[in-house]
Structure 1
Amino acid sequence: MSKNEYQERADQVWAWLNQWMSSVFAAVSLGTLSVNGVGRLVQRQVVFASLALEQNPPEMPERFVPIHPSGMDVDFPVARSPSEESELLAVMRDVADRWKRLQGDAVVCTRHGLALLDAMASGVGLAFEDESESIVSLPQYLRTQVALQWAQEDGNVQLVYGDLSGIQKYIFRTAYSGKGVAKKLRARSFQILLLTRLVARFLCQETKGSDLQILMSAGGVFYVLLSPSVTIETLRNPIDTYLFSEFAGELALYTGTVIDTTIEMERSFSRLAQEAIQRAREEKEHPYMQQLQSHGHWEKDRMIRTQTGTTPRCAHCQRNPIREAERHVSEEERLCETCRALEELGKRLPHIHWISFSREPKGDFQFGVLGSVSLHETRPSVMEEDWFAINRPPDCLETDTIFWMNHYVPTYQRKPLSFSDIAGKEPLGYFKADVDHMGLMFAFGFSDDNRSTTSLQEYLALSETLDRFFTHHLQVLLEKEFPMVYSVFSGGDDVYLVGQASEVIQLATRLHDDFLRYTGSHPELSLSAGVAFVKPKQPLFKVTHDVESYLELAKEQPASSRRTRQMGGRNQVSVRGIPLEWDEWKRLLDMAQQVVNFLAEGTLSSNMWYRIMELVHSVVRRGNGTVSLQDGRTYEIFPKLDYEWRRNATESRHQPMVEWFRTLLALPDSDAVWIMENWKVLELFVKLISVRRLTQRQERGTFHG
């Protein structure tokens, strides 16, 4: 596509969008919400309302997206009758008034118009006249139509799926270098976010298209619509060359493409997306073929990166030579150009509210052939088409495009705190969670008797709705309520956080409760999580491995309370390797808080509590960190613990707690597994109380049980 063809296509897309909205505004001025013979504007239900995997799912109460967006946080669904028609008309009249003020060329007006709809009409849906699909978000519908119209050629369009592989290893390898991990970790995660967007943007712009063709870009994955005449292999070569050179093969891009009609792309997106994903997976079997081969033969010299010269290597990446200016600093602080830039990014990131992308090497951070990125704390005086506001800052306008992300890190005097400073006198808490069965939900969650796939609008609505929860809402939570929790990454349908143990404990429960409220307590949408508590000096990469194994345990191994009900895993939290139902976890926190309160009041003896701790720890020490059921002394501990409670917890208000504790001390006949799990819960109970007492001494908050 030539420059003239680009401008012509931009003009056509804006003309279509402007005409479509003008007809809506004309209808609104006459007091009707009918749209172009397509359907009718209504207050939309949350996307989760149409989601089901079971053939006969239980009926859910109606939940609607608020008609007036708050803008300060995600909009939790409201359980009430939909708004009156007069409210929808008033919203659309306000949109019409602002639409008339749009200025700029076709691309700018299209971008600003879509942003305006996102800001003011996110609660407005489009109900199709033929009832062929569920009600879709009006802004979402128009955004996908713009992307389809920009990319289509003779009624066909090409879907490109991209996957940056090696992300986790790249992000966490910085943890091996020891010092300054907190500054480096979030910066690398943010770098991946930018890199993903830049690759998708490069594909669009190299074909004289617009980033309005990017359907989704997050967490190393993107979907882009391109013209069917575009050959993706030609576009890949400069990208692969840059990635291979800059990251030494540690990060690699894999793509899969599929071409179909625009109609089929809309109706059967999940099927086409799966085809593209499968082709990308097949490509993973032969990474960097273009870079490692020449004329069909392997180039062995390219497979080994030799060190030239005597310049020392970077202390962080252990790959690039250090900067000349670094020669006179200590060895553990000598950095290369890239790692020094990332460290500076880590310092600035918490205060950044505006971001811009450019193909020119003029930004704060360079990405080779892909372009550069500039970061700003305040709204730029001159706005270009490539500017984005991060999470709708106070100086943001309704026509500004939003870049949703969670970039919160704890700071002091504008500088990021180290993990030791974040922990204080407490252990560090690690929390990793994701939404269960999301692959199935995207593929089949919107299926019914008439269709077996998910439409483009439904697919993106589900993706973006979940992403907003784990980016914007979590950012708000950390800023306002959990300031000592560090966001390693969050977005899409998963999250990884590190923070003060007491705050991580509270946040785990709060995030689960908010997720239930956000999804309208959908019976098939659930959150699984892994939680670990360690000393601040523990190697991050090791703890990350542990907390990931805890998350997998929560998904695969049912809690002991589920066995009699023949239930499986998922919708659980695994704390230090102990799978618990979320209600069990809350009950455990409540009991721990009661013990702490009784100890603080003096109605329970501190000496008694130290004796209980010593009994528990003595068994763990004898088993080298595990409970040995072959040791008879393990069984002797149970009556001793029961004696301590009966002797000291004598008041009536102690009894609910005592009864709960005694259920853990019950010894079923020959059920060694049950005893083992109960013992682990006892050990966790002791740990929670210890953490809480440390927190109380630092005059912090309480558990949210």
Structure 2
Amino acid sequence: MNSSRSLIFAESVITNALFKRIKNIFPAKSDELLELLLTRKWGKEIVEHWQNEKQFEHLFQGLGEKVDEQAIPLVSIFSELHIQPNQTTEKRYYEPMQWKEPVYNPTLTESPSKENLLLHWHMIINSWKQFIQFAPEDHSIRISSFLDWSENWLSSVPVNKNLQSIPLSIHLRLMHALAIVCGVKCKSFKLLLGDVSGIQSYLFDIAHIGAGKIAKRLRSRSFTLGLLADVVSHKLLLDARLPISNLILSAGGIFYVILPSSYETRDWKKETNKFLYERFQGSIVLHSSEKEIHLLEMTKRFPELLTSCYEGIQRSKGKPFFDLLQNDGAWNDQMFIHDSKQNRDDLCNGCRKFPKVNEEFCEYCLLDEDVGKKLTRTNYLLFKKGHGTIQFENGIAVELLETLPISVDESSYLIQVWNQADAKKAPIQFHRKWVANYIPVAPKGGIQFADNLEDVQNLHEGEPLTFVHMAQVGKGKDLLGYFKADVDNLGMLFTIGFIKERQKESHSFSHILTLSKMFERFFAGGINQWLRNEFKNTYTVFSGGDDLFLIGPWEEILKAAQEIRSRFQIFVGSNPEVTLSAGINILKPKTALPHAAQFVENELENAKENVNVIRAEEKGQFGRDQVSVQGFVMDWTHFKVVTDTSKLLAKWWQCNKLSSSFIYQLSTFSDMYKKYKETGQNEYLKFIPLLNYTIQRNLIEGNILNDKNREDKEILEWLRNLQQVLEQKNKYPLRLNANLLWHYMHLITKISNYYRGG
């Protein structure tokens, strides 16, 4: 089957799958659709293929394609996800609706009404009619538009009862990619799993740059490195003469590509790693693993086949650049030495890796600054073969665009549309991607600071905030918060999370794609939207796949952390096995970025591996689903108590109810409490009468607090509850639980001090 015929065949397969569903639900409407299709030249070709549905059977069987007799609701895939055996989660449903926003939550505990389901299908039909009427004749643009339309309208519609947690939009996208490589007769394909590793380590390897300059370039560098997975996979598909839609997922450096079973990828991998090795001096490497899969194994053996791909990636990580470093069984000595004819004084002041092209920086660091200026206004990426703003050594370049181009030259092959940007008049094939590209900028009128602020420059409206500026615009003390988080047990969720579905022989590739797509929506599109609307001074270092790294004013970061975790819980339908862990560090704005990144990485590791003391006392509790702040590991509910209490102490200090010295005493008393908990010796309980004496002598007798005043009574209640450490821990709500408060008192008083600007 030649290229044009394979394209029209693939389009026929996916449109037939949609048409059959409409015919089952609204037979009369299907006749109208058929009549409309026959008015278009491309529509006639599609309908001709429909006359022989047997040519679709191998694809339909492989994907579990069945059409239900009636409209059914989409179940949250998180309702089916479990690591522990015999676990169940309340089934949650999505409202049948158009998905325009990045994040939708499974809020229904009962199936939506039949009327609502039919109403949505009625709207789908009307929208598809409009699509058919105005769809372009150019096939690549038309199929891009259809897949984009599908993600908008069919994301809240399930495949069928057996695949009720798989959105029809994802099902059709995978079906299209398989139809391209399998055609009418072939019944197998090659799945390639790619992993571009080392990006984060390279990202933070920035030396000798002032804090302000880092902020201008960091997001740009993160963005450029994040393009590598796309650029590498695009090169593979261009060489194979396949549409970019066969890249069915690319997020967080991981990508999945559907290839013909006979296609050889060895040269592509070797050439790619050669370009990565030379450009990034061995810091970033491509790992890939591939597996030939028979269509009928898609449901019966897919978990086993996917595990095999993951194992192949791990083996590759054990011997990076193996094909380059060895030649005919002997070490290629020259590859171990990076050519550098420059003396150290000539190296870039930014990365210390490449020669300067001006007095300070190399071409790559200068590019970071140029790209950084454009990123805040970017809505589209134009990928092309040849030369461009961002030039990759494998022959692919990228242009950053604010508006959709009217036309492009022959070297351009794809427009990547970001978030909700309009793509109706795209001149070539396009693909929509959820991207966290938010960067805080100076508001209208700019930002002016007093002259005595060392190294702080005034900013014009629209200029990106530097780290120092971010610290200055926050509340309280001028500090930055560093927040890093990711999904717990992600590997297990992907490999054994659908064990019940596997027993039903329905754990398929579609499940993996759905889970990945949902995480991409949350961590890219959702995070971007919430920062833009609610946390406007917070800077996105990266966010996508299943993790994120944010920098912002310390108080805003504390709020954002709680809000993101709360929204994540709702997003996953409160499934207790799908959790988020995070690390938070609060530092001076001029802390060297590599150090700050390592500190917050250590906090995240602390949250995942160490159980907080209070939780450890509860039988069966373990690490993860926690947050670590400044070395204190805590449950997310405890984190809220800590931040709320810190604000209370700061408020009472501002009202002159509690002095700085009294708050400092609380921190000192917490040391005695910890000694008591560690040793069990009652002598350390003397802090209780000492606290009581201090309250009575300094606060009550000093006429600072009065039992008859409502606000004073609140303070006294809180202070008196601190003395109840021997009472049963569940007797008091968390905000008044003495054991919990004393355990975190060092952190509470420290954060309170930040609020007070001390």
Instruction: Give SS of 1:473's match.
Output: helix
- Offset at residue 655 of structure 1 (A): 3.8
Taking the aligned partners of 1:616 and 1:586, their CA distance within structure 2 comes to 19
- Offset at residue 475 of structure 1 (A): 0.8
* 1:652 maps to 2:713: yes
Task: Tell me which amino acid in the other structure corresponds to 1:337.
Answer: E
Aligned residue in 2 for 1:490? 543
The answer as to whether partners of 1:174 and 1:184 remain within 8 angstroms in 2 is no
The answer as to whether partners of 1:358 and 1:373 remain within 8 angstroms in 2 is yes
Mark the CA change 1:104 to 1:338 in structure 2 (over 3 Å): closer, same or farther: farther
The counterpart of 2:495, out of the listed 443, 464, 482, is: 443
**Which runs of structure 2 are paired with 1:160-559 in the superposition (5 Å)?**
160-174=192-206, 177-179=209-211, 180-265=213-298, 268-308=301-341, 312-323=346-357, 326-327=358-359, 334-361=360-387, 363-382=388-407, 386-393=414-421, 401-412=431-442, 413-424=461-472, 425-448=477-500, 450-451=503-504, 454-559=507-612
Taking the aligned partners of 2:66 and 2:575, their CA distance within structure 1 comes to 33
Aligned residue in 2 for 1:684? 747
Taking the aligned partners of 2:168 and 2:30, their CA distance within structure 1 comes to 12
Instruction: Give SS of 2:340's match.
Output: coil
- Offset at residue 633 of structure 1 (A): 12
- Offset at residue 418 of structure 1 (A): 1.2
Aligned residue in 2 for 1:10? 7
Task: Tell me which amino acid in the other structure corresponds to 1:444.
Answer: I
Aligned length: 666
Task: Tell me which amino acid in the other structure corresponds to 2:149.
Answer: L
Aligned residue in 1 for 2:98? 69
Mark the CA change 1:105 to 1:232 in structure 2 (over 3 Å): closer, same or farther: same
- Offset at residue 58 of structure 1 (A): 3.9
Taking the aligned partners of 1:306 and 1:19, their CA distance within structure 2 comes to 56
**Which runs of structure 2 are paired with 1:17-96 in the superposition (5 Å)?**
17-27=14-24, 29-30=26-27, 38-39=67-68, 41-60=71-90, 62-69=91-98, 71-79=100-108, 80-83=110-113, 84=115, 85-96=117-128
Give CA-to-partner distance per residue, 1:496-527, whole Å, 9 cap, x none: 11110100111111111111111121122111
Give CA-to-partner distance per residue, 1:56-96, whole Å, 9 cap, x none: 32441x43223223524411223254142431322221332
Task: Tell me which amino acid in the other structure corresponds to 1:312.
Answer: D
- Offset at residue 28 of structure 1 (A): 5.1
The answer as to whether partners of 2:192 and 2:291 remain within 8 angstroms in 1 is yes
The answer as to whether partners of 1:240 and 1:252 remain within 8 angstroms in 2 is yes
Task: Tell me which amino acid in the other structure corresponds to 2:628.
Answer: S
Give the TM-score normalised by the residue count of structure 1: 0.87
Taking the aligned partners of 2:404 and 2:633, their CA distance within structure 1 comes to 47
Give CA-to-partner distance per residue, 1:419-439, whole Å, 9 cap, x none: 111111421111111112221
Taking the aligned partners of 1:405 and 1:174, their CA distance within structure 2 comes to 24
Mark the CA change 1:300 to 1:187 in structure 2 (over 3 Å): closer, same or farther: same
Mark the CA change 1:244 to 1:385 in structure 2 (over 3 Å): closer, same or farther: closer
Task: Tell me which amino acid in the other structure corresponds to 2:365.
Answer: C
Task: Tell me which amino acid in the other structure corresponds to 1:654.
Answer: I
Mark the CA change 1:593 to 1:396 in structure 2 (over 3 Å): closer, same or farther: farther
**Which runs of structure 2 are paired with 1:595-610 in the superposition (5 Å)?**
595-602=649-656, 604-605=657-658, 608-610=659-661
The answer as to whether partners of 1:409 and 1:486 remain within 8 angstroms in 2 is yes
The answer as to whether partners of 1:558 and 1:579 remain within 8 angstroms in 2 is yes
Taking the aligned partners of 1:633 and 1:337, their CA distance within structure 2 comes to 66
Task: Tell me which amino acid in the other structure corresponds to 2:309.
Answer: A
- Offset at residue 114 of structure 1 (A): 0.9
Aligned residue in 1 for 2:629? 575
Give CA-to-partner distance per residue, 1:452-493, whole Å, 9 cap, x none: 783111111111111211111111111111111111111111
- Offset at residue 381 of structure 1 (A): 2.1
The answer as to whether partners of 2:220 and 2:375 remain within 8 angstroms in 1 is yes
Aligned residue in 1 for 2:447? none
Taking the aligned partners of 1:343 and 1:270, their CA distance within structure 2 comes to 44
Stretch deviating more after TM superposition (548-557 or 449-458): 449-458
Give CA-to-partner distance per residue, 1:297-322, whole Å, 9 cap, x none: 32323311242256811112212111
Task: Tell me which amino acid in the other structure corresponds to 1:438.
Answer: L
Stretch deviating more after TM superposition (243-252 or 591-600): 591-600
Taking the aligned partners of 1:402 and 1:552, their CA distance within structure 2 comes to 33
The answer as to whether partners of 1:628 and 1:634 remain within 8 angstroms in 2 is no
- Offset at residue 255 of structure 1 (A): 1.0
Give CA-to-partner distance per residue, 1:301-359, whole Å, 9 cap, x none: 33112422568111122121111xx13xxxxxx11112211121122212211112122
- Offset at residue 245 of structure 1 (A): 1.6
The answer as to whether partners of 1:151 and 1:227 remain within 8 angstroms in 2 is yes
Mark the CA change 1:515 to 1:498 in structure 2 (over 3 Å): closer, same or farther: same
The answer as to whether partners of 2:174 and 2:510 remain within 8 angstroms in 1 is yes
* 1:141 maps to 2:204: no
Instruction: Give SS of 1:174's match.
Output: coil
Mark the CA change 1:400 to 1:5 in structure 2 (over 3 Å): closer, same or farther: closer
Instruction: Give SS of 1:125's match.
Output: coil
Taking the aligned partners of 1:422 and 1:628, their CA distance within structure 2 comes to 40
Taking the aligned partners of 2:693 and 2:505, their CA distance within structure 1 comes to 61
Give the TM-score normalised by the residue count of structure 2: 0.81
* 1:115 maps to 2:148: yes
Task: Tell me which amino acid in the other structure corresponds to 2:400.
Answer: L
Aligned residue in 1 for 2:47? none
The answer as to whether partners of 2:523 and 2:546 remain within 8 angstroms in 1 is yes
The answer as to whether partners of 1:432 and 1:548 remain within 8 angstroms in 2 is yes
Root-mean-square deviation (CA, aligned residues, Å) is 3.3
Stretch deviating more after TM superposition (534-543 or 173-182): 173-182
The answer as to whether partners of 2:82 and 2:88 remain within 8 angstroms in 1 is no
Give CA-to-partner distance per residue, 1:175-200, whole Å, 9 cap, x none: 55445111222222211221111111
- Offset at residue 217 of structure 1 (A): 0.9
